[in-house]
Amino acid sequence: MADEVVFEYLHMEMISYLYRTAEKIEQDHCISKLESLGFRVGQSLSERFTKDSSRFKDELDTMKFICKDFWNSVYKKQVDNLRTNHQGVYVLQDNKFRFLTQISSGKQYMDAAPKYLAFPCGMIRGALSNLGINCVVTAEVSAMPACKFQIQIQRL
Amino acid sequence: MAVCVAVIAKENYPLYIKTIPTDNELKFQYTVHTSLDVVEEKISSVGKNTNDLRELYLGLLYPTEDYKVYGYVTNTKVKFVIVVESSNTSLRDNEIRGMFRKLHNGYVDMLCNPFYTPGENITSRLFDNTVLSMMQQD
């Protein structure tokens, strides 16, 4: 149980450290910095988590892996809902997203949400890119702690 | 045991290649390069037959007069190729499988090192030692 909390603290501290050390004008870069940090972490994690799983059939199979195994290993729960339009857009809905559970629910702290979701977005993008899927990941919060991740596949 | 171990990136350029003895390195580079076509063929054929075993280990890619070439592809499309001497009959499929598993574990540990940039040549000493231990168990 305790190790999960440590991860949450580390994530919070990472954000506050980045924002504390950044100059006023540089603060816009913090989001992309967090995103690229997540990208690198996602790359490593996907390599480790897929070590013992069999080869993925297709894109949907990979997405299911993200929703089940990946989510379970990182956030100790599965994604609550996965939807797709079968044209390269996937929506992952998590009704109780880990990094938002410590923020009071409702709409009061909406402005703070982007910085807490940049790292997870990067992590998804990194994992998928290592598995051979190039995509853009955006997050959307309508009410804390529920959160939607939209994955848009980039086809060449 | 193995005479050549190679790690190939997903874009098919070599990340790491180790041969014993070292004077024949170019020949092994060719051997490994040739094997990539067989690897490609094996992966693409998997998609069509859904009842196929979707294993990471690809088995024997092709035998030559002196060597046997084995392949393994991770889910992230990184290829491992191991070349063993044909005369070495003590090596069974299971041993080869074990070697690949060890190699994969070593690779994952190496990738999780924050000082390594994915896609770069592998210079990790720890990984080097893992490979060497697979080559010198006689």
CA angle B71, B137, B2 (to 5 degrees): 25
pLDDT at B53: 59
Alpha carbons B131 and B126: distance in angstroms, whole number: 9
Residue A115 burial (10 A CB sphere; 0-12, 13-18, 19+): middle
Chunked in runs of 10, what are the mean pLDDT values of chain A (156 residues)? 79 88 79 90 90 82 88 88 88 87 78 86 91 89 86 84
Domain that holds residue B64: 2-135
Structure tokens that stand for A155 in this block: 């086809």
What's the total number of domains in chain B? 1
pLDDT at B138: 52
Which of B75, B107, B114 lies at the smallest CB-CB distance from A50? B75
Q: b/e string for B83-94 if b means 16 or more Cβ within 10 A?
A: bbeeeeeebeee
ipTM of this complex prediction, to 2 decimal places:
0.81
Which of A40, A44, A131 lies at the smallest CB-CB distance from B75? A131
pLDDT at A125: 92
CATH number of domain containing B45:
3.30.450.70
Alpha carbons B4 and B95: distance in angstroms, whole number: 15
Closest C-alpha among A123, A100, A151 to residue A49: A123
CA angle B59, B65, B70 (to 5 degrees): 15
What is the residue type of B110? M
Query: Could you tell me if residue B54 is left (phi over 0), alpha (psi between -120 and 50 degrees) or otherwise beta?
Result: beta
Q: Do B105 and A51 make contact, defined as CB atoms within 8 angstroms? A: yes
A36 and A122 Cβ atoms separated by less than 8 Å: yes
Q: Which residues of B touch A47 (CB under 8 A)?
A: 74, 76, 107-108, 111-112
**What CA dihedral angle connects A44, B47, B37 and B65, to 10 degrees?**
100
Q: b/e string for A28-40 if b means 16 or more Cβ within 10 A?
A: eebbebbbebbbe
Task: Indicate the fold that domain A1-153 takes in CATH.
Answer: Muramoyl-pentapeptide Carboxypeptidase; domain 2 (3.30.1380)
On the question of a cis peptide bond just before residue B14, with omega within 30 degrees of 0, the verdict is: no
Structure tokens that stand for B27 in this block: 């020949």
Which of A36, A40, A44 to probe by mutation at the B interface, max B CB count within 10 Å? Answer: A44
CA angle A31, A44, B45 (to 5 degrees): 120
pLDDT at B49: 57
pTM (2 d.p.):
0.85
Q: Do A132 and B77 make contact, defined as CB atoms within 8 angstroms? A: yes
Backbone angles phi, psi at A136, to 5 degrees: -115, 130
pLDDT at B96: 86
Give the list of residues 6+ apart from residue A101 with CB closer than 8 angstroms, or none.
A145
Element (H, E) at A47: helix A27-49
Give the list of residues 6+ apart from residue A132 with CB closer than 8 angstroms, or none.
B10, B76, B77
Q: Which residues of B touch A54 (CB under 8 A)?
A: 53-56
Ranges under pLDDT 70 in chain B: 46-53, 137-138
